[in-house]
Structures are given as C-alpha cells and as structure tokens.
Amino acid sequence: MVAQSAQVTTGRGPATPTKGTRAVRGFRPDVEGLRAVAVGLVLLYHAGLTFVPGGFVGVDVFFVISGFLITGLLVKEAERTGRISLAGFYARRAKRLLPAAALVLAVTALLVFLVVPRTQWTGFGGDIAAAALYFVNWRLAANEVDYLAEDAGVSPVQHFWSLAVEEQFYFVWPVLFILAMLVARKLGSGLRRTLCAGLAVVAVPSLAWSVYYTVAAPQQAFFVTTTRMWELSIGAAVALGAARLAKLPHPVALVLGWAGLAAIVASAVVLNADTPWPGYHALLPTLGTAAVIAAGPAAGPRGPIALLGRPTWTWIGGLSYSLYLWHWPLIVIATVAFDGLTQLEGLAVALLSVLPAWATLRLVENPVRFNPTFSARPWLALRLGALLSAIGLACGFGLIGATALATDEPVANPLGAAAIRSVDNFRIDTVADGANPDPLEAVDDVPDAYARGCQVDQTSAEPVSCEYGDPHGKVDIVLVGDSKALQWISALDTIGEQRGWRVRTFTKSSCPFTPATIALHGKPYTSCTQWGRNVEAELLRDPPDLVLTSQFRSTALTDPTDPDSEATQEQMASALRERWSRLVDAGSKIGVLRDNPKPPESVQPVYECVDANRDDVTPCVFPRSVGEQGSGQPAQTAAARGLRGVHIVDMNDYICPGSSCPPVIGDVLVYRQGTHLTRTYVETLEPRLAEKLEPLVSRS
C-alpha cells in the first residue's frame, strides 16, 4: 500500500497535485490516479461485489507503485548528494505512515472490545500488536496452515499484511541501495546500471519462489514477503529506467499505457479468489501497472493521464492510504455487529470509510508529515514513530489483558454432572469453579503434541513420529490420522505409562488416514494422499500391535484428480477398508476411535456460545444425532462393519450422554476449536478409554 505522494525525479514538468497535498516538482497525476484505481478495486472486492472477483489485484498495483516511488526518491537523493541518509529515509517513512496507522489500530482495538465476542480478543490483540510492528503478514501466513486458528474470525487488521510487506521492503531496499552505490564507485560503473543488476538478484529468485510456493503452499504464499519482493522490484526497475522511458516514441507509449490500464482492469474482472496467487498470474496486473507508469511521460495528455489525471481520481489517490487503513476494520466490525452484510451494505460501509479517511488525512497525516520541526530533525520523527508503534503495541496487549481479566466470571451449568450419571454410572468430578478450561482459554487447551511439532502441516508429505507412554513398553501402539486422532494423545500418554504401552503418533493436519483423495481449499489434497502412503509403508515394514485411527472427514473424491468430482461416503469407506485390511494382514489390529459428534453451526464455536451464555449454557446444547451425522462416524462405521481385526472404540456415550450433547459436563468444558475436544476433558476420560483398549491389547 503506497503511502507517499506520486512524485518522481523525471517527467515532463510539474502538474497540479491533489488538494490537500503540497506542490512538488515532478508530481505525476496519472500515478496518483492509479492509486485511486488500486484502492477502488480493493474496496469493491472487500465489500463483496461480484463484478470485480479479482479486486485483490489492487494490492499488487500498490506494490509496483511503491517500488517505483521509493526508488525514485532514493535515486534522486543519491544523484543529488552522492549519499543516502538512512536516518532521513526512515524518519520520512515514520512520520508519513505511523500516525494514521496508530490511530486506526487504537480505534480498531476499541471497536473489537465493544463489538467482537471476547473469545476473539486474544487473537485479534495479537494481530494488532503484530500490525504495529509490521510483521503481521508472517503471523497471518502461519495461521493459514494452523488448524488451531480455524475458529478465528477474520482479523480486522488483516489488511495490514500488505503494509508489512512494504515496510519490510523499505527496511531492506535502502541498505541494498547503499551497497550498490559502493559497488558502483569501486567498479567505476553507473549507479543505475549497478542497481538494475542488484534488482535482478532480488526479483528473479523472488518470482521463481513465488511461482513454486503458490502451488506448494498457497495460503502462506499469499502473505509472505518473499513471494512479493519481485512486484516491488518491477516498480523499482521502472524508476531506474525513467529517463530512457520518457523518450519512448509517442505512438508506442500510447499503446503501452492504455494496454497496461486494460490489463489491470482485466485482472480484476477475469481473475477470482480461486486463482492461485500471487505466482505467475500476478504478472498481468503488475506488468500492466509498470506499463502505465513507464509510458506516462511519453504518452502525454492523450495517454492514461487523460482518465487518471482527472481531479476526482487524483483526490481519491491522495486519500488512498487512509482509505485503505480505515475501510477494512469498519467492514469486519460491521459484519460482526449485524451478523453479516449484503453486497449493498458492504459497499455502503466501504463508502462511509471515506469520512474517517478524509479526517485522518487532514487532521493527522498532513499536519505531522509537513511539520517543519520533524522535517528538520529526523531523530525526532524517529522517536515519534517509536512512540506511535508502542501505542499500537499497547492496544494489542490491552485486548489480551482484558481477556485474562474476563476469565474470572463463572459459568453456571444447570445440566451439571447429573446429566450423564445415567451412562454406566459415569460422572465428571468438579475440577474448578465455573468451567475448566474457561471458555476464553479453550483454544489453548490442546495436547503438547503441537508444541512438540508432532503434527505434519498441510504442505508436507513426510511422516513425523512422536513417542508417548512407556518408551520401553512391550506393547506397540500407533496413533494415526488427523487432528481428531491426535486429540486423544494426552489420555493415551497416561494410559501407556501406567500399563507399559509404547505409543507413537503419525498425524497430519486435515488428513484422514485413507488411500482415497480428499479436496482441501478447492484442490485435491495430494500431500495428504502421499503422506498416507508413506506412513502405511512404514507401518507395514514394522507392524505395530495396535493401530488407533480417527478422522473428521466422511467423504472422498470419486476422481482423485478433480476437486469438483463427487465426494461420497462410499468412496471413503471403501478406501478405509482397503488400507485397514492390508494392516490387519500384516499382523496389526485396528482400533477405530469413533469421531465425536460435530457441533452444528448454530453453536459454533462452542466455547464462544458458552462465554455468551455463562448464566445458562442450555442454548449451547445440540442433538447428538445431528452431531454424529456431520462427523466422520458414518464412513468409519461403514468401513469397519464386518471387517476382520477391526474394532470400533466408541467414547461418545461419555461425550454426548443420552440424546443431547452438553457443552459443559460436570465443570469441564467439552469442546475447543471446531469439533475438537478440550485436552482437559479428554484427560478425564482416560480411565474409560483404558477400559475400551484393554481387550484389544490383550488379544494382540
């Protein structure tokens, strides 16, 4: 997201800048108008308007503009003074970017506190803190492949990811610029030529990595800096070649400029959220943006400036930074407050964000940016930047602290332990006042296997094993499957220690242990299929006494190469029988941990429902039959039916006693993220799970 004014060091003379900005030599109205196009596409996309399904390309347009403007400023300084002042550079960035950003982060934190459910405060507080320090893109990338974040709502500062990418570029590029100046002096070569070589060293590997990583890990690739550096480098290259580009033949410049603008618009209309991004697809809007900027001076008044240079466009362009900052938090908060927005409502919120954006530009951005004291004293501007970053950081940690204070509120459970005493005299003893864990802490009540790195992420097919129980035990048990299998490891660890059983894990995120292929994020989950083959091969080489498995998925693709093919329970059950039979023939027994009932959308996340109904959790109870139908149970049951050596291990009478599934049993919260059980509740089931497993082990 570009923050500085659209000004460059070369061109065909000054033009009238946007109202609210200072007149500067070399101002480019077409570039300012291009910023308006970029922010407009982003706003329409975020508002949910379907006629711009690829409006996210506006961010890529910003990246190219940013690389162009920043490099132009650095070149101008280097050629004028023979040096680059890092203190001056970072001071200019601090006074330009941080005042508005700190204000938006503070207001966003307040709105989250007032509107968003408390279960989201900790996660959003962490996002705000990361946004204040400009590394939120890496946090978002990690969350994209972290099943533990599956219940997290859309972050109100998610849009700061692009600002983080640019800030990281701003941190690195001036230093590389100085190194290039030193190399140019030593070799006696031209500065621009040396810089072009340096850009190639950055851009080519970044583009190659972007193409690869977009396929290998699309959710992460979208956010990380390494897949985006080439986009900023394209803009930088245009700045370095500005003098020569200004001499393009007029007809060529006209065609190039208008074709570039058409490429940007086509990207927004033709591409959509299913397009792998960024990768090579991002070449269309980025090269289109570069073409518009490169052709501008030579194309003259008949070029894209005829449209982009109009007062309305340049006014929006001058407002684009504040507008970008404000629109997304307001859309997210409004979505939560009104339980969703229609396209028209989303557009209305996006348009209303012009008001705080304009006020911020006039009352915050420009007064600080053009303050002569800060301009004359860079270190004072840097101190101001540090203070503003600290304010954003404090707002984020304030939300986290508020969550901790809220956990003192008790949870009243009228169902109590009595609700399940009819099930084989089973009961849960009181473990704490209220619910344990507190619903605000449910997302952290997970097995230590995640901290140990025992679960393979969605990108890898390499089996990873962790050992629990008695490492010298004579009974070898392997737990294999997705996170629904891994949720039982805390109880299995205790059981193994007490009974002399060695317990090993092989689990992968969102991956059932089946030779069938499932779809994930609209694509065949091939790394899951390959991981399953690798794990099976390892188990067949040294068959364990007992293989325990569980899964959430109940269907698989009928055509493993086509994510749009029908996904059926029959395909999943048939594939499971095939794999289980091979393991049984090798000498292992199979224990199928029946998947626990899935809470319906009306009560998800369950811990959020409990927090909202602390006085009476009855609204969070759901029918057991509904939960079972939505779980992995149907395929598991069908696959195990009549199959030699395969045994169902059913714990669901202790999770959903009778015909209903209560969210709190005794004083223990049952569910955490999605359909997963809390570690605390799993540990209370340890004696019952041991009773279920004893007969299987004794037969081994």
Q: Is 324 helix (H, G, I), strand (E, B) or coil?
A: helix
How far is C-alpha 336 from the geometric centre of its chain's CA atoms? 19
For residue 556, the SS3 value is strand
Residues 392 and 521 placed together within one structural domain of the fold: no
Are 207 and 288 contained in the same domain?
yes
Q: Residue holding tokens 């550079």?
A: 89
Task: Evaluate whether residue 391 is within a structural domain.
Answer: yes
Please choose, from the candidates 447, 2, 57, the residue with its C-alpha nearest in 3D space to the C-alpha of residue 284: 57
Structural domain contains residue 408: no
- For residue 549, the cross-strand partners are 480, 592
- Among 439, 422, 477, residue whose Cα is nearest residue 609: 439
Cα–Cα distance measured from residue 342 to residue 1, given in angstroms and rounded to the nearest whole number:
26
In this structure, is residue 412 part of a structural domain? Answer: no
pLDDT at 152: 62
Same domain, 338 and 441: no
Same domain, 516 and 393: no
**Angle at the Cα of 479 from the Cα atoms of 475 and 480, rounded to 5 degrees:** 140
Instruction: Kindly list the averaged pLDDT for each block of 10 residues, start to end, along the chain of length 700.
Output: 45 35 64 97 95 96 96 91 91 93 98 93 95 95 66 86 95 90 87 89 95 90 96 96 93 96 97 92 97 95 95 95 97 94 94 97 93 89 94 96 78 52 45 68 92 90 94 95 96 95 96 95 90 96 96 94 90 96 96 96 90 88 94 95 95 91 89 92 93 83
* Domain assignment of residue 21, yes or no: no
Do 383 and 432 lie in one domain? The reply is no
565 lies in the same domain as 686: yes
Per-residue pLDDT at 23: 38
Helices (DSSP H) in 13-159: which residue ranges? 29-46, 57-81, 86-115, 121-132, 136-144
Per-residue pLDDT, 151: 57
Query: Number of structural domains, the chain?
Result: 2
Residues 231 and 299 in one domain: yes
Residue at 410 is within a domain = no
Residue 449: how many CB atoms within 10 A of its CB?
21
**Same domain for 431 and 282:** no
pLDDT at residue number 699: 54
The answer to whether residue 22 is domain-embedded is: no
The answer on 125 and 164 residing in a single domain is yes
For residue 39, tell me if it sits in a domain. Answer: yes
Last residue of a domain, one of 360, 375, 402: 402
166 within a domain of the structure (yes/no): yes
Residues 398 and 421 both lie in one domain: no
Q: How far is the C-alpha of 626 from the C-alpha of 108, rounded, in Å?
A: 37
Token pair 């598991």 is found at: 636
Q: Are 658 and 422 in contact (CB under 8 A)?
A: yes
What pLDDT, on a 0 to 100 scale, did the predictor assign at position 1? 58
Cα dist from 243 to 20, 66, 294, 304, whole Å: 29, 18, 10, 19
Are 332 and 421 contained in the same domain? Answer: no
SS3 (DSSP) at 507: strand
Nearest-5° Cα angle at 444, 443 to 450: 110
Query: Does one domain contain both 203 and 314?
Result: yes
Task: Tell me the CATH number at 584.
Answer: 3.40.50.1110
Domain range enclosing 201: 29-402
**Residue 657 has what pLDDT?**
86
